[in-house]
Amino acid sequence: MPPSFTVLIADDDAEDRNFLKECLSATTKLQVIGELASGTDLIAYLSGTAPFQDRARHPLPDLLIIDSIMPKLEAGEILHWLKAHPVPRMKVIIFSGFPTPDTGAHFIKHGAHGFFYKTGELHQLKSITREIETHLLNGDYDR
């Protein structure tokens, strides 16, 4: 049986988090273990500092999905932090609601494993989450 992957979502918009969780629940191998609304909460979670110090309740994820623009710390700053504080085997996917040229390439260059534009269409987001699942299962993000 292929492995399953734990997912942590960091997005300041509760509606976007709920939409993404609904689509991730439609996959068979991606399990959401938590959600955060700010970059500073994300760093605290990954660092294991209060209130996230209990790794049994707040395990490190296999996959981190980050909104590109959040309060206090944005995705680029989080990627910079991750470069200095690597989390072994964790893959990072960035979602952006602002389609600007070369945004995805910039995030990939700075450590993200994948990049997608946000969509308000349920069928499109389900397709994206299935694509992410397939890449994880195939080990594509390991290359």
Q: How far is CA 125 from the centre of its chain?
A: 14
Residue 13 falls in which region: left (phi positive, over 0), alpha (psi -120 to 50) or beta: beta
Q: What is the pLDDT at residue 98?
A: 81
Q: What is the pLDDT at residue 96?
A: 94
Confidence grade of residue 2 (pLDDT, cut at 50, 70, 90):
low
Total domains in the chain come to 1
CATH code assigned at 105:
3.40.50.2300
CA dist., res. 53 & res. 3, Å (int): 26
CA distances, 130 to each of 8, 114, 137 (Å) = 16, 13, 10
Cis ω before 88 (30° cut-off from 0): no
Range of the domain at 90: 5-142
Structure token pair of residue 77: 């700053």
Phi and psi, residue 38, nearest 5°: -145, 160
In this predicted model, what pLDDT tens digit does every residue of 81-136 receive, in sequence order? 999 999 989 999 999 988 777 889 999 999 999 999 998 899 999 999 999 999 99
Q: What is the pTM (predicted TM-score) of this model?
A: 0.94
